[in-house]
Chains A and B, each alone.
Chain A
Amino acid sequence: MNNGWRHTAKAFRWRRSLWIASLLTPALVVMVLFVLWPLLSAFRLAFYEFNGLQPTGFVGFENFRKVLFETPYSDWTYNALKHNIIAFAALMVFENGTAFLLAYALLKALPGHRIHQVIVFLPVVLSAVIVGFLWKLFLHPLFGLVNQTLALVGIGAIPWLGNESTALGSILFANIWHWLGFPTLVLLAGMQRVSKEVIEAARLDGAGDYVLMTRIIWPLIAPSVTIVTILTFIGSFNWFEIPYVMAGLTGSPGGATDVLGLYFYRTAFGSTTTGIQDFGQGSALAVMMFIIVAGVTAIALRYLRRREIEL
């Protein structure tokens, strides 16, 4: 140990740098190989045409032109995009709206509120594949739990997943059942941070529940609302697993449940029905989805943050 004193400052510094570098290396190598490089390539590959796995030549914006302006690709793109937008709107209203009410109910901390928190979050920990198949069975037109229940009150069998008008709504319902606990507990955590004094003061001034909820709680949980909104947006535009499990790779029936995630997967890795497999067009779609998500998130963040600051 004594010879440690004889180390020159330089040798000491070198050993220290080596130690720090060895701590950082594994994480950096994995990140560069499997995040940074693929991400940069993703943008590059969108400008190439492919033969199988091999890029064969630079084609400029050709892939983008195809998916945006050339039928049938453009029809598929806009059809899928439309469903992502509908999904986002529906989740904001029904999932996050319900979550807000539940969070407010849980905030009261009435007897049993802890067990209710555990219950509402239970489906969140399950795989989307389990949730999707479970609801697919429950929504079966003849033997599913949903129609069997409706039959008790005299409502006839509805082919929930087979009807173009009900299919998207049905898988959105399954999705809400799956995820409801997440926004509920995020909003609850936001509400719990609102100081007790503020709520007490408002109560003493005679504010009822409605005023308290709309005038005090709602504005003060703006940061939580921002994060829930953005996560819902990202989730709606990357939506894949539940539609895949419940409606299949082509978004049946007749594309009524097709979303960008499914369309992207079909384009990139091929589907048995269309037989198209195109890494170039797939990359163009991925880049556009990336730009939509990153762009809207950045804009929304600025807009919603401003709402927070004004308070």
Chain B
Amino acid sequence: MSATAGSRDRGELLKNGAIQLMLALNAVIMIYPLFVMVMSSFKTNAEIFSSPFAMPSSFSLTNAERVWTETNFVRYLANSVGITTAAVALILLFSTMAAYAVARYQFRLSALVLMFFLSGMTVPLKLAIIPLFIQLDTLGLVDSYAGLVLVYVAMGIPSAVFIMTGFLRTLPRELEESARMDGASEFRIMRSIMLPLARPALVIVAIQNAVPIWNDFFFPLVLITSDDLKTLPQGLTVFVGEFTTDWGVLFTGLTLAALPITLLYIVLSKQFISGITQGAVK
């Protein structure tokens, strides 16, 4: 009896060891390329080519300095920050307002309005880029921050309305009823009573939209042509074109571009994961 239990334990131990080995191997495959990227950003071309696996001879910031001064990198970074912030703020504002109307009030067209928003979730807006381009061109919004931000807002609203409606519906009705009895205006009820409770859902919506917008390349590629308006992923393609043979600078550019979101991810990994897989995980 104890002998079979013992061999079972040993079998279990062996199996767990194999699983740990597989996970460790995967971790190396995921992390090592990024580690090499960061280390190479401190190297000279000669170092990268002749000793790719070695640590840099010194952690000099020469490459970073060149990226900072010789390229438009800072401008691209600022553009990405501005565009992502504006788009996410507007998505949160507009979709929370709409979701609040659908979730907390009964009115005749409410089901239809919700359905209109939800059907937007299935639309791949990339495929409508030609009419979208013509539309923005007529409005004079091609090659402008506003045009790009509005496209992102339109793309973000459907799923944001979906998540916010679902969340706002779960809040107990008694809360607003008693405030209404006390004579609070509808705006006050929304602003001071309901929305503070919706904060967890707002965080999810913000991350779910901020990550793809921050990383997006397709819409800037089509809509932005002025170098001064380019976003970070788009600017990176310009940058790579200019420094094709200077690998130290290239790795530095990639490292600096990856840095902001990686740091945020390390701090907020739980929220990032649930925000990005939201929709696929129920």
Contacts and interface: CB of A to CB of B under 8 A. Distances in A.
B179 to A, nearest CB: 14
Contacts of A86: none
Nearest to A283: B130
A112 interface: yes
Given A123-B30, A177-B30, A286 B98 contact: no
A116 B27 contact: yes
A182 B25 CA distance: 18
Given A42-B131, A129-B233, A186 B23 contact: no
A216 interface: no
A21 B152 CA distance: 23
B55 interface: no
Interface in A234-268: 234, 238, 240-241, 244-245, 261, 264-265, 268
A24 B281 contact: no
| Tier of interface size on chain B | 35 or more
Given A41-B131, A125-B265, A120 B30 contact: yes
A279 B134 CA distance: 10
B48 A279 contact: no
Contact of A133 (B105, B216, B250, B272): B250
Given A53-B134, A116-B26, A238 B237 contact: no
Interface string B149-192: 01101110110010000000000000000000001001100000
Contacts of A74: none
Interface in B92-137: 93-95, 97-98, 100-102, 105, 107, 113, 116-117, 120, 122-135, 137
A185 B273 contact: yes
Interface stretch (B32-40, B67-75, B196-204): B32-40
B261 interface: yes
Nearest to A37: B135
Contacts of A190: 281
Contacts of A143: 48-49, 52, 247
B16 interface: yes
| Tier of interface size on chain A | 35 or more
Interface in A94-131: 101-102, 105-106, 108, 110, 112-113, 116-130
Given A145-B33, A186-B280, A30 B157 contact: yes
Given A24-B101, A35-B123, A143-B247, A122 B134 contact: no
A186 B277 CA distance: 7
A45 B131 contact: yes
Interface in A32-68: 33-39, 41-42, 45, 53
A148 interface: yes
Contacts of A130: 233, 236, 254, 257-258
A228 to B, nearest CB: 7
Contacts of B281: 185-186, 189-190, 224
Interface of B: 15-16, 19-20, 22-23, 26-27, 29-31, 33-34, 36-37, 48-49, 52-53, 93-95, 97-98, 100-102, 105, 107, 113, 116-117, 120, 122-135, 137, 150-151, 153-155, 157-158, 161, 183, 186-187, 211, 214-218, 222, 232-234, 236-237, 240, 247, 250-251, 254, 257-258, 261-262, 265-266, 269, 272-273, 276-277, 280-282
Given A41-B131, A294-B122, 19 more contacts: A1-B183, A16-B186, A23-B100, A26-B94, A26-B97, A28-B98, A33-B150, A34-B154, A38-B132, A105-B22, A127-B261, A129-B236, A133-B240, A137-B250, A185-B273, A238-B124, A238-B126, A265-B222, A269-B222
